[in-house]
Amino acid sequence: MVIIEGKEFPDDLYFHRDHMWVKVEGENVRLGYNSWAMEQAGKLVNLNTRKVGRSVKAGKTLGTVESGKWVGPLKSPVGGEILEINQEVLKSPSIINDDPYGAGWIAVIAPNDLEGDLKGLISGSDAESIIVWIDDEKKKNL
């Protein structure tokens, strides 16, 4: 597991450059925001997502997220049909801040092209790529 500034990037996940993580669960994937992004955004106050049964394309908007510092799109790292939305994080988005890789998951998707979508993501086991990516993000925020 890679740890940067106390924030974890678990080996069994894939990471999108827009700070979403992907966990492969059989034929489906579970999505959420990574811990480093939550630190940068601050406490989340609002989360809206597309509805279950809708389709989403990789890199396109799955919903919106709002913190005290920021409002922006929630971009899906994979394309497919939305099977489930975590209702608990819709009611209390700060769960994502507290437990981004556990109770703070956002959606479950049945991917259209998982193999193709994963090629555009960073594996949690690729420490060097994660470090370079986060260093680039820090430079953007200066």
Question: Residue ranges of the domains in the chain?
Answer: 2-140
Please give the DSSP secondary-structure letter assigned to residue 139: H
CATH fold for domain 2-140? OB fold (Dihydrolipoamide Acetyltransferase, E2P) (2.40.50)
Would you list the DSSP string of 48-107?
Answer: EEPPTT-EE-TTSEEEEEEESS-EEEEE-SS-EEEEEE-HHHHH-THHHHH-TTTTT--E
| Beta strands 71-75 and 61-67, pairing class | antiparallel
Give the three-state DSSP class for 43: coil
What is the structure's pLDDT at 124? 81
Can you tell me the distance from the alpha carbon of 120 to that of 65, in angstroms, rounded to the nearest whole number? Answer: 23
Average pLDDT of the residues of the chain: 89
**Residues 34-40: what's their mean pLDDT?**
73
Adjacent-strand bridge partners of 24: 29
Model pTM score:
0.86
Residue percentage of the chain with pLDDT more than 70: 93
